[in-house]
């Protein structure tokens, strides 16, 4: 995978297929990396590359990407990386497909850049619903691999970074009021577990101006139909 260097940050990315561009925002929490799609029930790298140009990326400090961490970092740090990569590839408009942590990434991109994104697909977005401690534990497990008290980042820095990431409400990067102003067409494939509560998916669809909810999609019996629906949704807004 090529590397995009932006200051002290190095983003590993890949492009696959031809057609309307789609930015992939992979699952994995703080370990969000493009190859994790290969383990998912629905894999856009397999299902979309015949009709779309896919831009997959490892988020900073996940997969093969690296970057500094400061006490002020948070969701907007990732958004800046994502926008910088699109600018580097000279992609003016695209679709968004994100799973898990990709849901908040998408919401944050749409908060200020709706005109740049033609549509978005959220698959089981993470969200807050009596589960914050689970996200803290997930972050702490990841941060143990990152902390370096001598060279940085320190445990103090990582603690502040954790709270910047996981102390929000709802979809973490946006408020319910923010979602009400999202006009970008959304297709939301519902989550149904501790990290991806049903309530988050349902609330996004309830509040957004142009959103569709798919409740059942992970089981083998649904995947072919869901795949067709996602492709038609993206092509319909290309």
What pLDDT is recorded for position 107?
Answer: 98
- pLDDT, averaged across the chain: 97
C-alpha R_g of the chain: 17
In order of their start, the domains of the chain are 3-130+169-236 (3.40.50.1820)
**Mean pLDDT score, 16-43:** 98
Tokens of 95: 């679709």
Residue 1 has pLDDT above 90, yes or no: no
**Mean pLDDT score, 174-202:** 98
pLDDT tens, residue by residue, 71-116: 999 999 999 999 999 999 999 999 999 999 999 999 999 998 999 9
Residue 38 has pLDDT above 90, yes or no: yes
| Ramachandran angles phi, psi of 56, nearest 5° | -105, 145
The answer to whether the CB of 61 falls within 8 A of the CB of 28 is: no
The answer to whether the CB of 144 falls within 8 A of the CB of 213 is: no
DSSP per-residue codes, the chain: --EEEETTEEEEEEEESSSSEEEEE-SSGGG--GGGGGGSSS-HHHHTTTTSEEEEEPPTTSTT-B----TT-SHHHHHHHHHHHHHHTT--SEEEEEETTHHHHHHHHHHHHGGGEEEEEEES----SS-HHHHHHHHHHHHTTT--TTTS--HHHHHHHHHHHHS--TTSSS-HHHHHT--S-EEEEPP-SSSS-HHHHHHHHHHSSSEEEE---SSHHHHHHHHHHHHHHHHHT-
What pLDDT is recorded for position 36?
Answer: 98
Side-chain-side CA neighbours of residue 191 (13 Å):
28
Residue 10 has pLDDT above 90, yes or no: yes
| Ramachandran angles phi, psi of 80, nearest 5° | -60, -40
Whole-model pTM above 0.95? yes
Tell me the pLDDT band of 197, cut-offs 50, 70 and 90.
Answer: very high
**Mean pLDDT score, 20-48:** 98
Q: Return all residues near 64 (Cβ < 8 A) that are at least 6 apart.
A: 1, 3, 12, 33, 58
Q: CA-CA distance, 15 to 22, in Å (whole number)?
A: 10
**Mean pLDDT score, 2-6:** 97
**Mean pLDDT score, 40-64:** 98
């Amino acid at each position: 995978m090529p590397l995009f260097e932006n200051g002290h940050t190095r983003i590993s990315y890949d492009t696959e297929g031809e057609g309307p561009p789609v930015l992939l925002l992979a699952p994995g929490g703080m370990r969000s990396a493009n190859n994790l799609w290969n383990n998912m029930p629905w894999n856009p790298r397999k299902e979309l590359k015949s009709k779309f140009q896919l831009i997959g990326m490892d988020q900073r400090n996940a997969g093969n990407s690296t970057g500094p961490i400061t006490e002020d970092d948070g969701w907007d740090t990732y958004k800046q990386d994502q926008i910088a990569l699109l600018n580097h590839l000279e992609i003016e408009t695209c679709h968004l497909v994100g799973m898990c942590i990709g849901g908040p990434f998408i919401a944050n991109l749409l908060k200020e850049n709706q005109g740049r994104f033609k549509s978005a697909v959220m698959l089981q977005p993470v969200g807050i619903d009596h589960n914050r401690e689970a996200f803290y534990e997930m972050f702490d497990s990841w941060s143990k691999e990152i902390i370096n008290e001598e060279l940085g980042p320190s445990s103090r820095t990582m603690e502040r970074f954790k709270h910047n990431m996981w102390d929000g409400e709802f979809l973490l990067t946006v408020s319910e009021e923010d979602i009400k102003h999202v006009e970008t067409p959304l297709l939301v494939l519902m989550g149904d577990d501790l990290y991806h509560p049903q309530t988050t998916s349902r609330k996004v669809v309830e509040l957004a101006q142009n959103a569709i909810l798919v409740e059942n999609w992970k089981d083998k019996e649904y995947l072919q139909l869901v795949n067709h629906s996602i492709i038609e949704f993206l092509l319909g807004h290309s």
